[in-house]
Amino acid sequence: MSVQKFLYDSYLREHTSYVESFHIINNLCAIALAENIFRPSGGGQPRDHGTVIINKISYKVEDIIKIKGVTNLILDSSALVSLYEFYGKEANSILDWERRYCLMRYHTGGHILMSAARQTVLGYEPQGMEIEDDLSSCKILFTSEEEFTEKNCSSLLDIALNAIDGNASIEGKKYPSLDAAKEEHIDEFRINSNLNLKGKVRIIIIDNYDANPCSGTHVKSLGEVGSLTIESFSYESIERIASIKFKLECITS
């Protein structure tokens, strides 16, 4: 079974592995690598971009699709003619690192804003985040029992910016169950109640601020999130859903 390297080392930009399986999906060549560094889209985080080099030929990764637990890299159409030569071959994966790093910063920025919301919003419950595919902004969503106002938004931002200034460390830790993780992080734990997690869980812990089950990619320290500004916020009073749209400064290709 393919190992998803990005879960253990989100800073791995390039990696050599081999083609474990191949087939055709939507008339394009799909390969699964024994060790994969490309993250598919999920949890509001768009997919990685990059290339795979096989037999000295570079192929663009056009999509990343997980089927029955296997992460398939969909290669550009030029790979089709060589499809049957790929099995067992060495494959060098190269991430579009600027995009990945920006995604990691946005995603981690979403975590710390959610943590600030947990600390300040009455009836807070996380409802996910959505990073724009062009990396122009990210939106976090959560419930709020009372109207979410500009004042709420401002105090929430202060908490998040102070935490970013403090440069807290971030680590992923595995627990045998959700209950075990909750017990250890009772004061800072948060979870989207729509998630039905069973068995082992990976918890992303931001020092004393936040503990949340997540399979996204994160930076190692909060300072790496950098300059964070809020573009807009809204509150939908019937569903009691608040959303905050924020922006980071990213260099993207």
CB of 111 to Zn ion, least distance (A): 5
The stretch near Zn ion (CB under 5 A) out of 51-59, 71-79, 183-191, 206-214 is 206-214
CB of 177 to Zn ion, least distance (A): 19
- Does residue 214 belong to the site contacting Zn ion (CB under 5 A)? yes
- Does residue 213 belong to the site contacting Zn ion (CB under 5 A)? no
CB of 31 to Zn ion, least distance (A): 27
3-state helix/strand/coil string of the chain:
CCEEHHHCCCCCCEEEEEEEEEEEECCEEEEEECEECCCCCECCECCCCEEEEECCEEEEEEEEEEECCEEEEEECHHHHHHHHHCCCCEEEEEECHHHHHHHHHHHHHHHHHHHHHHHHCCCCEEEEEEECCCCCCEEEEEECCCCCCHHHHHHHHHHHHHHHHHCCEEEEEEECCHHHHHHHCCCCECCCCCCCCCCCEEEEEECCCEEEECCCCCCCEHHHHCCEEEEEEEEECCCCEEEEEEEECCCCC
Of the two residues 121 and 140, which places its CB atom closer to Zn ion in the complex?
Answer: 140
Of the two residues 79 and 116, which places its CB atom closer to Zn ion in the complex?
Answer: 116
CB of 216 to Zn ion, least distance (A): 3
Tell me the residue nearest to Zn ion as measured from the CB: 214
Segment 186 to 205, residues that bind Zn ion, using CB under 5 A = 204
Of the two residues 7 and 94, which places its CB atom closer to Zn ion in the complex?
Answer: 7
- Does residue 216 belong to the site contacting Zn ion (CB under 5 A)? yes
Residues of the shown chain interacting with Zn ion in the complex, contacts defined by CB under 5 A: 204, 214, 216
